[in-house]
Amino acid sequence: MRILQLCNKAPFPANDGSSIAIYNMAVGLHKNGVDLDLMTLNTKKHFKSDKNIPKAFFEDTHYSSVYKNTNPTLFGLITNLFSSKSYFETRFYFHEFEQKLIKKLQANSYDIIQLEGFFMSSYIPVIRQYSTAKIVLRAHNIEHIIWERHNKSVTNPIKKAYLTLQTTRLKKQELTAFQQVDYIVPITPIDEKILAQWVDKSKMQTVLTGVDLTEYQLGNDPLYETKSVFCFGSMDWLPNQQAVEWFLERCWPLVLDKIPSCKFIIAGRNIPDSFKQMASKQIHVLENVPTSNEIYSRYNVMVVPLQSGSGLRIKIVEGLSFGKAIVSTPIGCEGIDVQNNRDLLIAETPEKFADAVIELVENNEIRNSIELNAKSFAKEYLDNTKLTATLVRFYNSILS
């Protein structure tokens, strides 16, 4: 089987949710015998040098990338008002990538062309023109749902009006893309149920993002802090920013009231200055951490206080795989078949969320039980090679 994997973000180093999802998918496909070509946008915002790609991964995936600055600009925001398309999506379509894609399609014959996320759907017309391959959209999220949820919390009337306009356009484009592709691979069962409103179930195969569990082993950090809570993720993603703000404003004071010596660690990429300015004895800010293991091995309870979002939270997958005790909102663990009070704790209100954090920090017996169950869950349900094998079997069935 020959597959072309088209990505809107360079996957290595795999240091955020979408790049982890792309990288692990590529590794899993190769391990399952797929002849794979990976072609990616390499954006200014998430730039990753091709020189740092491991030689084996570079060769196994026939890796290629095209650089482009896709950052929003004031000019782009204004001129887009006179367009019918969403600015969220049009930023990822450009001539240089299209030309390189055409050359690749002319030089190779593919069975499957897998789009990693909706934002690569702009290239469907050129794919149809130059290839007879089945086009599959791997839906990392349902993008318009993320923005609909986010917009509910926007208070500035001008910003709200602009985002509402963009979200309306985005939804229209996304629903069109669902009909244009041959098949869809939702990343969670929840997303599959939502997509069933617009897409026949026979056109879908849900496959969670898996991990190589051998890479998720906690180190014995001599600086391990028992009375610590951490939130880890890409802080340039609006739902993550909103989550940290909610936790700091609504939950953290309640935790400190019971455990005055507790520390809250905000870790990840592109942390906003507003969070950095909060740094204190109780709040630590760690940006651009070299490896995830450093965070998971040093700090105790993981929180995922998401109030909006869609798809699968890869950091939840990582946390479970490391065997961490996690407190999440229902949205935070949406799409993963975890059981509350067994694999993690789920809480929706600030009071219950804070109580859950306090319980895990203070009660070693309960925390240890949750940690063991989390690790067991990951072993059973999150093995990357097994999950990708399910997708390869699906592809074989549609090709035959």
Q: What is the mean pLDDT of each run of 10 residues along the chain (400 residues)?
A: 95 82 94 96 84 92 89 76 77 89 97 95 96 96 83 86 89 94 93 93 93 90 93 86 95 97 93 92 89 91 87 85 96 90 97 98 97 96 94 96
The confidence score (pLDDT) of residue 399 equals 95
**Do residues 243 and 359 both lie within one domain?**
yes
User: Alpha carbon 190 to chain centroid distance?
Assistant: 15
Distance CA 83, CA 101 (A): 25
The confidence score (pLDDT) of residue 311 equals 62
CATH number at residue 242: 3.40.50.2000
**SS3 state at 113:** strand
Residue 33: CA count within 13 A, CB half-sphere: 9
Angle at 271 (CA atoms; ends 267, 276), nearest 5 degrees: 90
The confidence score (pLDDT) of residue 59 equals 95
Q: Which two tokens stand for residue 55?
A: 């030689």
The confidence score (pLDDT) of residue 358 equals 98
Amino acid at 149: R
**Do residues 146 and 164 both lie within one domain?**
yes
Residue whose token pair is 């290839």: 131
The confidence score (pLDDT) of residue 309 equals 65
Phi, psi of 230, deg, nearest 5:
-135, 150
Q: What is the dihedral of CA 28, 123, 309, 271, to 10 degrees?
A: 90
Q: Are 101 and 95 in contact (CB under 8 A)?
A: no
The confidence score (pLDDT) of residue 310 equals 62
The confidence score (pLDDT) of residue 115 equals 98
Q: Are 4 and 114 in contact (CB under 8 A)?
A: yes
Q: What is the DSSP string of 288-342?
A: S-S-HHHHHHHEEEEEE--SS--S--HHHHHHHHHT--EEE-TTTTTTS---BTT
Distance CA 366, CA 389 (A): 35
The confidence score (pLDDT) of residue 40 equals 95
DSSP symbol at 290? S
**Do residues 198 and 226 both lie within one domain?**
no
Q: Which residues pair with 286 in a beta bridge?
A: 267
Q: Are 244 and 231 in contact (CB under 8 A)?
A: yes
The confidence score (pLDDT) of residue 285 equals 95
**Do residues 7 and 87 both lie within one domain?**
yes
**Do residues 191 and 244 both lie within one domain?**
no
The confidence score (pLDDT) of residue 291 equals 78
Distance CA 191, CA 46 (A): 26
The confidence score (pLDDT) of residue 91 equals 78
**Do residues 395 and 318 both lie within one domain?**
no
Residue 315: CA count within 13 A, CB half-sphere: 23
The confidence score (pLDDT) of residue 106 equals 97
Strands (E), the chain: 2-7, 35-43, 64-68, 112-116, 134-139, 183-186, 225-234, 263-269, 283-287, 299-304, 326-328, 345-346
The region that residue 388 occupies, defined by phi over 0 for left and psi between -120 and 50 for alpha, beta otherwise, is alpha
**Do residues 189 and 259 both lie within one domain?**
no
Boundaries of domain holding 28: 2-210+383-399
Q: Enumerate helices (H) and strands (E) in the chain, giving the number of each.
A: 17, 12
Q: Which two tokens stand for residue 32?
A: 């399952």
**Do residues 99 and 224 both lie within one domain?**
no
DSSP symbol at 200? -
Q: Which of 307, 377, 300 is nearest to 347 (CA)?
A: 307
**Do residues 124 and 222 both lie within one domain?**
no
**Do residues 36 and 86 both lie within one domain?**
yes
Count structural domains, the chain: 2
Q: Which two tokens stand for residue 89?
A: 């999506």
Q: Are 336 and 317 in contact (CB under 8 A)?
A: yes
Distance CA 160, CA 47 (A): 30
**Do residues 387 and 253 both lie within one domain?**
no
**Do residues 191 and 245 both lie within one domain?**
no
Work out the burial of residue 260: count CB atoms within 10 Å of its CB; fewer than 13 is exposed, 13-18 middle, 19 or more buried.
Answer: exposed
Distance CA 343, CA 333 (A): 11
